[in-house]
Amino acid sequence: MRAKFVLLLLVVVFLGCSKDNDEDIVIVDSRTIEEVIEDFKNLNIQPGINDFSLESMNTGVFWNFRVIAPTDASETNKRPLVIALHGASGGSPTAHQNTSCYVEPGLEELNAYIISPNAGTEQWYSINNQIQVINLLELAKANWHVDATKVLVTGYSNGGNASWLYTDFFPQYFTAGIAMASSYNSRRADGSISAIAVPLYVIHSNADELFPVEITQAFVEDSLNAGSTIEFVVVDGLSHYTPCDYVSYLKEGVAWVQNQVW
């Protein structure tokens, strides 16, 4: 019943609280909520890597995502859940499958369920992707052996920006965030900055060519001054375009989440 309730409300709630309200969204509820839930329940989740395409509530619109499942999850051994958001944008049909670079080795210690969704041709902050991400999260919590107190969102570049956004706007769904090579301004349209309720671990290189470290550091300091909990780690000499080099720093972020947050 919980998953049904969430699927029913998201299309209404997100239209009102999205960071980006300027786009034209047309949502056609042409499939029943029960059909989506049943299709999710019927996914054949095996330990290790699983790739799925799940038809959403809009006929012909699919959520494409990878699930990396732990081997030992059970009712008495509930595992963390990670939403891993890929970098870049532009509609690569396999973007969600690029997990071997840093997602798998960097998150290995968590022994978690990892969901890596595909953003399609839209940014992660689009309403359609908000609906996808939160629905997949809630469906997983309702149907898998997930420890609901340990839900992490992480990502690189565009996915790192989205990690800030989801912890900022949807803290009820996440308990920690790790953002890599990101640049996110939490200042609202009226100039105010609200504290982000979810603890964040922010990793950034002093040689990032796309997002200068000084700008990201200023965003971090503004958010800290507003009352956020952020661990800001500056690493030396890494290019924005070599995300695989972030593995050891992601591992350190995971250790911080395990030891300081969870």
Residue 161's identity, in one-letter code, is N
Q: Is the pTM of this model over 0.95?
A: no
- The 10s digit of each residue's pLDDT in 31-73 is 888 999 999 999 999 999 999 999 998 899 999 999 999 999 9
Q: What is the mean pLDDT of residues 190-200?
A: 95
Q: What's the DSSP call for residue 194?
A: P
28: pLDDT confidence band, cut at 50, 70 and 90? Answer: low
Rounded Cα–Cα distance for residues 227 and 238 (Å): 29
Q: How far is CA 21 from the centre of its chain?
A: 20
**What token pair was written down for 190?**
């009226």
pLDDT at 238 over 80: yes
Mean pLDDT estimate for the chain? 90
Rounded Cα–Cα distance for residues 79 and 2 (Å): 19
Q: Where do the structural domains in the chain lie, given as residue ranges?
A: 2-261
- The 10s digit of each residue's pLDDT in 155-189 is 999 999 999 999 999 999 999 999 999 999 999 99
Partner residues linked to 62 by β-bridges = 55
Query: What is the DSSP secondary-structure string of 126-170?
Result: SHHHHHHHHHHHHHHHHHS-EEEEEEEEEEETHHHHHHHHHHHH-
Run of H or E residues at 63:
strand 62-69
Q: Top-level CATH class of 2-261?
A: alpha beta
Residue 155's identity, in one-letter code, is G
Query: In the block, which residue shows the tokens 């870049």?
Result: 88
Rounded Cα–Cα distance for residues 85 and 129 (Å): 11
